[in-house]
Amino acid sequence: MDTTLQDPLVGQLLDGRYRIDGRIAVGGMATVYRAVDTRLDRVLALKVMHPTLAADVSFVDRFIREAKSVARLSHPNVVGVFDQGTDGSYVYLAMEYIAGCTLRDVLRERGALQPRAALDILEPVLAALGAAHRAGFVHRDMKPENVLIGDDGRVKVADFGLVRAVDTVTNTTGTVLGTVSYLAPEQIEHGTSDTRVDVYACGVVLYEMLTGAKPHSGDSPAQVLYQHLNEDVPPPSAAVPGLAFALDEVVASATARHPDVRPYDAVALLAQLREARAALTEEQLDAVPPQAHAAAHDNAEDRTSVIPRAARSVQLPPPTDGGPGGAGGQDALNRTSILATPPPGPPPAAAPASRRRFDPRRRMIAVIAAVVLVLGLGTGIWYINSGQFTKVPPLLAKTEAQAKQRLDEAGLDVKDIDRKYSDTDKRGTVMDSDPAVGERIRQNDKVTLTISLGPETVKVPNVKNIPLDTAKKELKNSGLAPGMVTKSFSEDVKKGAVISTDPRAGFTRKAGSAVALVVSKGRPVEVPDVTGESESDATSELEEEGLKVEIATKQVYSDEDKGDVAEQSPGEGKTLAEGDTVTLTISKGQPMVEVPDVTGMNVDDAKDELEGAGFDVDEDRGLLGIFGDTVKKQSVDGGDKAPKNSTITITIR
């Protein structure tokens, strides 16, 4: 069954912004999708909480509050958080998309790692956690599934979904969050979590990288929890002889059962790790580990889930040599769990000899009951004959040849190959499978692969000389988007029609890409100077140039004669397109100015007064005023108004 294609969110636009293209992983708390932010045109990972959890208001409030807190973390080894929101019943977190694999994928494929590789991975993990710890946060779910290794080699810590502020997790109320295989003893016994639970989990991860196996194992999560509480993590060199003693010391320090014995936080553990590394020789760093444990993870359940834990009255059984439900127990060890109420300490005292008779039926019921109570699965018992099943191996982003090889190695075959366009998946790589990656499938069964054709491409149509609106419609019909529009003069393309496109016609572009358009402003026209001309003459001259004329509603006083053009806009020499408009302002003539009263003044003072007011002065002396020096009369009486620059005649006697 192709669960990816049946996923209701695949192909949808979440919150009007995020286009969900495919499913990356499914956990017990959320599903992670590969999506595209249509607003910023970037690929990202979208973590969507399961609707069953989204119905819990307190859980959603905590998810949102903690997501906002983690978004404040800025570190190169922490998966960035871009956005958080809700869309109906969907609560989501938009995060940085890392193309690559998880540390779990590496351990499945390669088993134990060389010490150098293990330290190269753990150091940036501790740097990321150190930044979180110093910022006041605890991750609480450190495991290989949450360590991402990009195609460029960068290591990033993901899934801070269980993160809590340090000062709010010192005493949880009846619940423990985490993954069974990586829980610290104090998380199990008391429900307390501080920075040292991350230190403990990192110690377990280091052990797993060095040996290829987890330090504690059992047929059920209850047995693993018991070992966390009652047994020390063994030194890695016990499983891989020849490993340096310094590595044993780091693992022992980080996984000390009492938190006070561990390094205080990831920063302190990082310092200890670097000190140990400096003491190792090149041969010790490059020691080749055995690969015997590689297959141990092939069928491990790596999904994250929400698991109610047994009540306090249920005892945690010590490890056994096997029994029904073993496959289910192993599956549960890598899940993120919510355990309701702390479990008890050591197993109960032995029963009297008369009552210790072995009863297979009773033992089977007890084991099944423990698994049901711990996992909260009710009637969900796994197949005893789980050997008939396998899981679809990691295929996403692999080439067709690589995917076929992985399927062949897993004892599976290719049923069919579909090919689809994709904006986010590289051409020739696997973008989906049916059944999906990680799904249970019978051995020797077949898998359908969906191979990416890369982005769908279309040719840019020829829209030259076509009106802009029509050109936009043609681009949309071709699967392209009209882009930025700029205007330019053109001697041969009609105004409003398209001159050219970028990319040019005939070029191939990804479907949905924007095409820029250059639209004609028409033939360029240099504006002539029509100031001082009559309104009719100026209008005729401009219209002959292909321009339109508009007369301003208000006239102004100017040096131009009344009725002539006083101003024009745009002015002389400006370049307009054919059909553009020039606005003309008509003159009301010279402005009227109040005439000073100069009668009785001597001639020189009177002339200065009138000229200063903007008038020309003419003298009338007649026969009687040849030798006079006083103004007896003026042509415009003082206090009256006359046009500026007009002439005032003064009579001298």
CATH entry 3.30.465.10 includes domain 1-97:
no
- Assigned CATH topology for domain 592-652: Trypsin Inhibitor V; Chain A (3.30.10)
103 membership: H or E segment, kind and range: helix 103-110
Res 291: pLDDT? 58
Domains 1-97 and 386-452 in one fold: no
**pLDDT at position 30 over 70:** yes
Question: Is cis: bond before 503, omega within 30 of 0?
Answer: yes
List the chain domain ranges: 1-97, 386-452, 457-520, 524-589, 592-652
Residue 376 tokens, joined: 């909260």
Query: Cα–Cα distance between 483 and 95 in angstroms, integer?
Result: 28
Q: CATH classification of 457-520, choosing from 3.30.565.10, 1.20.970.10, 3.30.10.20, 1.10.3720.10?
A: 3.30.10.20
Choice between 345 and 339, residue whose per-residue pLDDT is larger: 339
Q: CATH classification of 386-452, choosing from 3.30.930.10, 3.30.10.20, 3.30.540.10, 3.40.720.10?
A: 3.30.10.20
21 an active-site residue? no
Res 203: pLDDT? 97
| CB hemisphere CA count around 408 (13 angstroms) | 6
Choice between 330 and 551, residue whose per-residue pLDDT is larger: 551
Res 534: pLDDT? 93
CA angle 578, 582, 588 (to 5 degrees): 160
The per-residue pLDDT for range 82-110, each reduced to its tens digit, is 888 888 888 899 999 998 889 998 999 88
Res 422: pLDDT? 81
List Cα–Cα distances, 425 to 274, 418, 420, 636, in angstroms: 38, 14, 10, 92
CA angle 229, 105, 98 (to 5 degrees): 110
Least confident of 362-366, 520-524, 557-561: 362-366
Q: Chain-wide mean pLDDT for the chain?
A: 80
The per-residue pLDDT for range 540-566, each reduced to its tens digit, is 999 998 899 999 999 998 888 889 999
Identify the band that residue 332 occupies on the pLDDT scale cut at 50, 70 and 90: very low
* pTM assigned to the model: 0.49
- Kindly tell me the burial class for residue 374, based on how many C-beta atoms sit within 10 Å of its own C-beta (0-12, 13-18, 19 or more): buried
The per-residue pLDDT for range 220-259, each reduced to its tens digit, is 888 888 898 989 999 999 999 999 999 999 999 999 999 9
Instruction: Identify residue 329 by its one-letter amino acid code.
Output: G
The per-residue pLDDT for range 456-506, each reduced to its tens digit, is 888 999 999 999 999 999 999 988 989 889 889 998 999 999 999 999 999
The per-residue pLDDT for range 406-437, each reduced to its tens digit, is 998 888 999 999 998 887 778 899 989 999 88
Residue 406 tokens, joined: 């992985």
| Cβ neighbours, 10 Å, residue 353 | 7
Strands annotated E in 126-173: 137-138, 147-150, 155-157, 164-165
Choice between 24 and 331, residue whose per-residue pLDDT is larger: 24
The helix-helix angle for 115-134 and 266-279 (nearest 10°) equals 150
Q: Which one, of 311, 376, 306, lies nearest residue 338 by Cα? A: 306
Letter string b/e over residues 155-167, b meaning 16 or more CB atoms within 10 A of that residue's CB: bbbbbbbbbbebe
Pairing of strands 498-502, 514-520: antiparallel
- Assigned CATH topology for domain 524-589: Trypsin Inhibitor V; Chain A (3.30.10)
Letter string b/e over residues 474-498, b meaning 16 or more CB atoms within 10 A of that residue's CB: ebeebebebeeeebebbeebebebb
- Kindly tell me the burial class for residue 294, based on how many C-beta atoms sit within 10 Å of its own C-beta (0-12, 13-18, 19 or more): middle
Secondary structure tally for the chain: helices H, strands E: 18, 34
Query: Cα–Cα distance between 272 and 277 in angstroms, integer?
Result: 9
| CB hemisphere CA count around 45 (13 angstroms) | 20
Mean pLDDT of 49-65: 77
Res 626: pLDDT? 73
Residue 502 tokens, joined: 């970028």
Res 445: pLDDT? 87
Q: Which one, of 486, 429, 476, 480, lies nearest residue 454 by Cα? A: 429
**pLDDT at position 183 over 50:** yes
The per-residue pLDDT for range 186-206, each reduced to its tens digit, is 888 887 888 999 999 999 999
The per-residue pLDDT for range 115-163, each reduced to its tens digit, is 999 999 999 999 999 998 988 888 888 999 999 998 888 999 987 755 5
The per-residue pLDDT for range 383-396, each reduced to its tens digit, is 223 345 788 898 98
The one catalytic residue among 141, 265, 425, 564? 141
Q: Which one, of 504, 508, 496, 495, lies nearest residue 470 by Cα? A: 496
Choice between 273 and 66, residue whose per-residue pLDDT is larger: 273
